[in-house]
Amino acid sequence: MLQEIEYSYFENSNIQVATACQLIKNDSALASGYHAIGFSQGSQFLRAVAQRCPDPPMLNLVTLGGQHQGIFGLPRCPGEESKWCDLARRLLETHFTETNMLLRVSFWRISTTIDRRKMRLTRRTY
């Protein structure tokens, strides 16, 4: 259980999706297709599985509370008046997004740099 919690924060999401694709593909019970339900972060995860792993097909995907448009802002962090919130924001918008250190940053949305991030993402290979 502890390892799963650690992976939900620090494991690269692309590696997790690739691992899930292999497990699903190798499971003979899922050969004719399967249905999936994702909650919160699991919604994005299963959406990636559906898009990247066509064999066997995901027949239906139900998501609850997913952040399909990304997330923006830190909970309980007001504008730019708190130096700790500002520091956390800057770390998220620079260091963590560039290094993929935190899984949740993979769907962090930076409104001021959205075009630069889109360009960087389109150059990535999965």
Per-residue tens of pLDDT for the chain, all 126 residues: 677 666 666 677 888 899 999 999 999 999 999 999 998 888 888 999 999 999 999 999 999 877 766 666 666 776 666 777 877 777 766 655 555 555 555 555 555 555 555 555 555 554
Rg for the chain, CA atoms, rounded: 17
Q: Which of 110, 101, 10 is nearest to 69 (CA)?
A: 110
Q: Which of 124, 121, 123 is nearest to 113 (CA)?
A: 121
Instruction: Tell me, yes or no, if the pTM score tops 0.85.
Output: no
- Give dist(CA 94, CA 74) in Å, integer: 15
- Give dist(CA 110, CA 60) in Å, integer: 31
DSSP type of residue 71: B
Would you tell me how many other CB atoms lie within 10 Å of the CB of residue 122?
A: 7
**Amino acid 126: pLDDT:** 47
In the structure encoding, which two tokens stand for residue 17, read together? 């999706």
